[in-house]
Structures are given as structure tokens and as C-alpha cells.
């Protein structure tokens, strides 16, 4: 399995200048290729990667774009491939129409293939550079690994990163277990497990909210333009943001790795986080919780280690359904954190939801039972339990 290993590095002045030029050329080629394909699309014509590659050759021969020939050609060709992938995703209805890259807002990156870099004895040298990059090897690469692709990037805070795509033979399925867990995400507690365990929400953004607000006010007082003072203030804001992001990502990585290692089956709710974030009162807290990132990490790590992630339908009434008798409560406002069913069972709202998610996930895995909103039947048995009982041998 191929994995990307990302490291921070500190370029020399000449290397930083060369990479900055490469980033600019990559952005220029991407935008020009996108413009050419958009114009062809308006004429009801199709332009593919090979045609844009021929265009790139012609662009380099012009006087105004001759500077494209001063940087490595491989990142420019990779930019054309990225345009092709973007259009493939658009035509496959997996993404929206590709957008142009912004000099100020878009991610600065350049991708090098094997013909444009040399990796020997732990030293990485890129094309057009005489000296290897000063990389901080925070963790070793897999033994005998040879990168197939190298991506260099710079974030908004000015930090430089290099990502090496390598074959990692160490990623193997873990020994199968019979453990399963239901996971209910929330804001008071980041996660509530069907075992009753509640994992606190670190609220990383709230911890740095005062520092962030102060830095943003300082930036707002700077005159708009390309001034050095405004750039310095912008970097200060960006450093606070990346501090928040790094701590959040580190916490989620540790959490998802633990859950995947301990459980064979993990059941979550298929939430539409983007729609939920439209709530003006909860948008900031939902974004800080990063539920979408949690699910993404959980799914790809489960694929790595031979685990199963089951996403229960978002309309499944996990909070209103009694996990003991299957009765469905009529209303369950968010302010209600504990409730008592008519059967006499008192539920913690989040633990009950996690238990119901686990039951629904097991039903799906075992017999394909539905997980849509259930109605309590006149006989007193929930529709979901009836469905499961009919399918059991």
C-alpha cells in the first residue's frame, strides 16, 4: 500500500526562490490550461491532456511566457494532469466544475515525479537545485522505500513541507476481533461510545480564540495592499490557525487509531456536516469539532487495517429510540440530555444514541436490515426489531 510521509524542511534562500518561482509557474499553467479547456467547452469541443501538453510547449516558445522554461518541466506537466483529473471528477459527477487558482488563497505546491528528483542515502535533491533539501526526518521512511512522487508545499504561515509517496509494506490487516462499537458525535463531548465512554471535546479553537481575535484586529488595522506590515500581520493570524489545526489533527489521529485498533466494526451516523454548519449558533463549534475529518480518518484507517466502518442513515432516530424496548419517543429537543422511557429505563441521550447506532449497524452487517426512521407498531415491537426477527434463520 502506498502512503504519503510528510516532513517539514528549511530551504536555503536560493531553494526558496526557486520553489516560489515553480509555484507561480504551476499556478499559471494550471489556470491557462483550465481557461483553454473552458473556452473549448463553450465551443462544444473537448480538449484532453495531450492537447494541453502541446499548448504548454507552444507557450514556452512565446516571449511573454518564456519564463516557464526556467523551472523544472515536470511540475508543469503534473499541473496539466491535475486539470485532467479535475475534469474527470466533474464529468463523473464527483466534484464541481474546476476553479482557477488564486495567487493569495490557493495552496502553493509543486509535484515532482521520479525523473525530477534524486533520493539517495536519505538526501532528497530536486530538479534545478544543486543542494539537497534540509529535511527534518521526524520519523523514518519504511525500510528500503523509494519515493515515487514528491510534493513540495508551503502553507499560509510560511512553513515548508515535503511529502514523499512510498510503498509501505508495514500496513497490514490487524488480527480480527469480535468487538464492535457505536459512535455518536457531539459538541459537549466529542464522541460518546456505546460502551458508555465519553471522550471530551478539546475545543482547540476556543482555547486560542482570544489570541486569534487580537491578531485579526491587528490585521484589520493594516492598509490593504502588498505592504510588509500587512504581510507580517497576516502570517501571525495564519500561525494561530495552523496551531489550532495541528492540535486538532493530532488529537483526531490518536483517537481514530485507537478506535480502529480496538474494534473490528465501527458504526457511525451519516451526517451532513456542511448543512449542519449553516446553523449560525452552532457553526463555529461544529467546525471546531471536525466531524468530517474524524470520519475520513476512521474510514481510511479501517481500510488499511482490515476493519469495517458502517454509516447509518442520517434520518435514523438514534436519540429518540429506546435501546431497551425499541419504543420511539415523539419529541427529543436538544436540551433534553436524559430521558425515561415508558418501560422505566432512564437513558443518557448520547449513550442511548450510540447503542442504537451499534444495533442498527449490526443489523445491516448481519442481514441487511433497514436503518430508516422506525415506527412503533401497535403490538409494541419496533419495526426495526421486527425486520431483524423476520430475517433471522
Residue 165 has phi, psi (to 5 degrees) of -90, 115
**Residue 269 falls in the annotated catalytic set:** yes
d(CA 341, CA 348) in angstroms, rounded, equals 11
**Residue 348 falls in the annotated catalytic set:** no
**Residue 184 falls in the annotated catalytic set:** yes
Q: Which of 303, 260, 256, 263 is nearest to 177 (CA)?
A: 263
- Provide CB contacts within 8 A for 3, sequence distance 6+: 165, 166, 168, 171
> DSSP character for 336?
-
Q: Which of 61, 54, 74, 67 is nearest to 28 (CA)?
A: 67
Contact indicator for 47, 37 with CB cutoff of 8 Å: yes
259: helix, coil or strand? helix
* Residue bearing cell 490557525: 241
d(CA 256, CA 295) in angstroms, rounded, equals 9
H helices within the chain, ranges in order? 13-42, 49-60, 73-91, 204-207, 209-220, 228-262, 273-276, 283-289, 291-305, 349-367, 383-391
Q: Is 179 exposed, middle or buried (0-12, 13-18, 19+ CB in 10 A)?
A: exposed
Give Rg (Cα) of the chain.
26
Residue 163 has phi, psi (to 5 degrees) of -115, 125
CB atoms within 10 A of CB 75: 24
Among candidate residues 184, 188, 308, 387, the one labeled active-site is 184
d(CA 124, CA 279) in angstroms, rounded, equals 47
* Residue bearing cell 511540475: 75
CA 261 to chain centroid, in Å, comes to: 20
Catalytic residues: 184, 269, 350
Amino acid at each position: 500500500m502506498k502512503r504519503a510521509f510528510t516532513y517539514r524542511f528549511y530551504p536555503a534562500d536560493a531553494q526558496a526562490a526557486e520553489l516560489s518561482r515553480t509555484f507561480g509557474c504551476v499556478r499559471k499553467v494550471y489556470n491557462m490550461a483550465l481557461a483553454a479547456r473552458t473556452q473549448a467547452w463553450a465551443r462544444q469541443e473537448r480538449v484532453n491532456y495531450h492537447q494541453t501538453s502541446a499548448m504548454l510547449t507552444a507557450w514556452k516558445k512565446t516571449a511573454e511566457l518564456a519564463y516557464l522554461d526556467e523551472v523544472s518541466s515536470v511540475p508543469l506537466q503534473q499541473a496539466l494532469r491535475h486539470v485532467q483529473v479535475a475534469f474527470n471528477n466533474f464529468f463523473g459527477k464527483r466534484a464541481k466544475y474546476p476553479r482557477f487558482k488564486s495567487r493569495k488563497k490557493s495552496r502553493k505546491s509543486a509535484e515532482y515525479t521520479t525523473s525530477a528528483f534524486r533520493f539517495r542515502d536519505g538526501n532528497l535533491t530536486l530538479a534545478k537545485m544543486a543542494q539537497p533539501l534540509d529535511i527534518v526526518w521526524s520519523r523514518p521512511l519504511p525500510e528500503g522505500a523509494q519515493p515515487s512522487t514528491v510534493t513540495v508545499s508551503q502553507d499560509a504561515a510560511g512553513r515548508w513541507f515535503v511529502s514523499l509517496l512510498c510503498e509501505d509494506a508495514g500496513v497490514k490487516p490487524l488480527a480480527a476481533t469480535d468487538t464492535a462499537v457505536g459512535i455518536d458525535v457531539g459538541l459537549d463531548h466529542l464522541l460518546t461510545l456505546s460502551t458508555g465512554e465519553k471522550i471530551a471535546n478539546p475545543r482547540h479553537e476556543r482555547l486560542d480564540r482570544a489570541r486569534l481575535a487580537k491578531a485579526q484586529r491587528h490585521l484589520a488595522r493594516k492598509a490593504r495592499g502588498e505592504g510588509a506590515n500587512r504581510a507580517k500581520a497576516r502570517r501571525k493570524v495564519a500561525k494561530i490557525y495552523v496551531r489550532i489545526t495541528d492540535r486538532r489533527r493530532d488529537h483526531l489521529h490518536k483517537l481514530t487509531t485507537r478506535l480502529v485498533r480496538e474494534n473490528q466494526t465501527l458504526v457511525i451516523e451519516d451526517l451532513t456536516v456542511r448543512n449542519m454548519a449553516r446553523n449560525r449558533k452552532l457553526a463555529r463549534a461544529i467546525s471546531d469539532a471536525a466531524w468530517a475529518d474524524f470520519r475520513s480518518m476512521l474510514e481510511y484507517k479501517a481500510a488499511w487495517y482490515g476493519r469495517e466502518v458502517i454509516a447509518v442513515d442520517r434520518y435514523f432516530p438514534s436519540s429518540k429510540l429506546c435501546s431497551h424496548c425499541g419504543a420511539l419517543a415523539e419529541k427529543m429537543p436538544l436540551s433534553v440530555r436524559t430521558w425515561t422511557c415508558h418501560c422505566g429505563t432512564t437513558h443518557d441521550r448520547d449513550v442511548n444514541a450510540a447503542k442504537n447506532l451499534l444495533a442498527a449497524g449490526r443489523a445491516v452487517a448481519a442481514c441487511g436490515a433497514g436503518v430508516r426512521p422506525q415506527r412503533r407498531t401497535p403490538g409494541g415491537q419496533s419495526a426495526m426489531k421486527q425486520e431483524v426477527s423476520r430475517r433471522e434463520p
